[in-house]
Structure formats: structure tokens, C-alpha cells
Amino acid sequence: MAIKTTASGKRPGKPVRWERLLMVLANGGVVTLDEIQTTMQYDAMYRIGAELLNMKYRGAVIKAHKDGRKVVGYELINVAEMMPYLTDRGFSVTPIAGKSIKNLGELKAKKAPVADVAEVEEIA
């Protein structure tokens, strides 16, 4: 009897490190290194570059945000293209630990203009 695998060739089960990093980065926006470490509970942060490279081999476009020469955070650009890697194996996006939205102002969303209501004549 053949072992059932997913489209990515892996059996469903425990996520590997690059998949755990993808679950964190798929939140969208810039994710700092501290947020990655607390959310993933990953103590080998010096290997984060290797995990990012594994994601890039699979088609991820990752932008590094820097303060001078030091990297302060990463952003996954093509979230929609990378989501099948998670949903295919039954995983979902992991919320970032310690980050919560207390008011709508933190979303940095723009108010939509209110459309004027036009009066329409009835057609008999």
C-alpha cells in the first residue's frame, strides 16, 4: 500500500522549520526578528538565513528591512503564492505572539469615502 502524500510530496504531520517560519511571515507586513523568535520559539536565530533560503528555493520573495547594516525584520511579498504550501499540509497562519490590535488606528487603514445617495425615479 502506498503512503499518501500531499501535492508538495510531504506527508501531513509536524511542520519543518521553514514551514513554521512561513506560518509566521504569512501574517503579512514586516515581522521583526524578536517577533519571529517569540512566536516560533526558535533558539537558533543564527540559522534564520538558512530557513529563508529554503523558502526562496520554493518560490518565496522575501524583503529584508534594515536599519543601516543590521536586519531588523523580514517581509514576505508573495503571501498568496506561498499559502498552498501551508494549506496543502493542513497548516494555517500563526498569529504573532505579543502582538494584538487594540484599536483600529493601529491597522493603518484609510477611511473609505462615503458615497452620495442619488435619488432614483420610479419606473412604472
User: What is the tens place of the pLDDT at every residue in 33-79?
Assistant: 888 888 877 666 778 888 899 999 999 999 998 888 888 889 999 98
Domain boundaries, the chain: 17-97
Q: What is the mean pLDDT of the chain?
A: 77
Cα of first residue to Cα of last residue in the chain, in angstroms, is 70
- Backbone phi, psi, residue 86, to 5°: -85, -50
**Please, what CATH class does the domain formed by 17-97 belong to?**
mainly alpha
Is pLDDT at 118 greater than 70 in this prediction? yes
Q: How many helices (H) and strands (E) does the chain have?
A: 4, 3
CA neighbor of 76 nearest in space, from 86, 89, 68: 86
At 30-41, the pLDDT tens digits run: 888 888 888 877
